[in-house]
Structure 1
Amino acid sequence: MTDLKNRRVKDILIASVDGLNDFDNAILSVFPQAQIQRCIVHKIRNTLKYVSYKDRKSFAHDLKSIYTSPNEQAGIAALNSVKDSWKSKYPYALRSWEVNWDQLSIFYEYTEEIKKVMYTTNVIENIHRQFRKVTKSKGVFPTDMSLLKQLYLVVVELDKKWDRSFKRGWDQILGQLAIKYENRLSEYLF
């Protein structure tokens, strides 16, 4: 995080994290106004590992009622409902949702368009997977610059794919963020 700050990153609005220990504290120590959102997809995967295979589909369906709720109060109600439905069979499965609710519920403050961007770290994981694919197939890079050029080419290819899916609606999302964070984004947008 300090390295990002040294590279002139002035602010982080929202950080979507996968639950790495103390990563949230590292972010907040350098960017104290950042909001930390736990990756919902990781939370679902981690929750389902405590659920028997035969119950996973119905349990996952019930979990969906939590993260698709329209607001935090409805999300809490859905969490309690799922907990009540499954507590006799899987009393531990939802414990981490309760313990980490403050970082799981941040995305309720945002519109549906923004939620789709922030509730998962899958985009970042995809970038890392593509980077690994390129670097794993090469034994050695002669210089650091040759490695950077290769990674740059990967990003260029990924950018073409993002034009079709990820970037769709980005102008609307940027406008919504500009309204919510007007005081923090005004020097960049106007």
Structure 2
Amino acid sequence: MVHLLRASHRYVTWNDPKQVAKELRPVYAAVDAQAAEAALDEFEAGIGARYPAVVSLWRSSWEQFIPFLDCPPEARRVICTTNMIESINRRLRKVTKNRGHFPNEQAALKLLCLAMRNITTNTAGPQRTGTIGWKRCLNQLAVRYPGRLPLTQNDQPTGPLTQNIRVSLLGLSAANHQTLDPTLEDAGPAIHLRPASSPHR
């Protein structure tokens, strides 16, 4: 959602961004797709007449945008950005950038699994996302998607991550899925990996 707004401001002159943002708010804050479409028509008839590229951008992205409107306001505030995903990616890069070369891809995969398991923050309770409003969002998601969230922390999988998620971490194809070491599922609480020695050192 936030990327669509940023892309819209790309076509706006320096003296109109606040007005455009104000006029677009009824679109993404609408209660449903019909109300959002009416708000977009009103935007197009108003200040949007000066920025046809902005209107075209929203209409071309409409099918990808309207699922956002199905979510309750508490969830919209959390999922409107990719901050949570970017935060996880940043922490994964942090644990790998100083490691040098790994002896094989399974060693790198094991490190990423352990890093994913140990990602924590001091806020947001046991789910540990560090995202403001996460608890309210979690309540809405639990009601909207029953049975998908564990009842307690003890219901979490025994391994650090499921096999499918671990495969996706390295971008491995389905053909390589059978080559992974099954012992990764039972990785212990700590593992020491030494990077391969560099010939330039």
Which interval holds the TM-score relative to the shorter structure? 0.5 to 0.7
Q: Can you list the C-alpha shifts for 1:108-127, whole angstroms capped at 9, x where unaligned?
A: 22322333344333322322
What's the counterpart of residue 32 of structure 1?
Answer: none
Structure having the larger proportion of residues in helix: 1
Is residue 102–residue 108 contact of structure 2 (8 Å, CA) maintained in 1? yes
Q: Can you list the C-alpha shifts for 1:129-154, whole angstroms capped at 9, x where unaligned?
A: 33233333333223334323432343
The one of 168, 172, 177 equivalent to 2:135 is 168
Q: Report the Cα offset of residue 86 of structure 1.
A: 2.1
Which of structure 1's runs of 4+ aligned residues deviate more than 4 A?
none
TM-aligned CA distance change 1:149 to 1:92, over 3 Å: same
TM-aligned CA distance change 1:104 to 1:144, over 3 Å: same
**Aligned residues between the structures:** 143
Unaligned runs of 5+ residues in structure 2 are: 152-201
Q: Report the Cα offset of residue 98 of structure 1.
A: 0.9
Match of 1:144, as an amino acid?
E
**Whole-Å Cα distance in 2 between the matches of residues 78 and 148 of structure 1?**
47
**RMSD over aligned Cα, in angstroms?**
2.8
What's the counterpart of residue 89 of structure 1?
Answer: 50
Is residue 114–residue 173 contact of structure 1 (8 Å, CA) maintained in 2? yes
When the two structures are superposed, what TM-score results if normalisation uses the length of structure 2?
Answer: 0.58
What's the counterpart of residue 72 of structure 2?
Answer: 111
Q: Which moved more, 1:90-99 or 1:145-154?
A: 145-154
TM-aligned CA distance change 1:106 to 1:56, over 3 Å: same
Match of 2:135, as an amino acid?
R
Identity in percent? 31
**Whole-Å Cα distance in 2 between the matches of residues 156 and 142 of structure 1?**
22
Is residue 27–residue 36 contact of structure 2 (8 Å, CA) maintained in 1? yes
Structure having the larger proportion of residues in strand: 1
Unaligned runs of 5+ residues in structure 1 are: 1-39, 179-184
In structure 1, the residue corresponding to 2:53 is in which secondary structure?
coil
TM-aligned CA distance change 1:124 to 1:82, over 3 Å: same
When the two structures are superposed, what TM-score results if normalisation uses the length of structure 1?
Answer: 0.61
Is residue 31–residue 69 contact of structure 2 (8 Å, CA) maintained in 1? yes
**Whole-Å Cα distance in 2 between the matches of residues 155 and 97 of structure 1?**
35
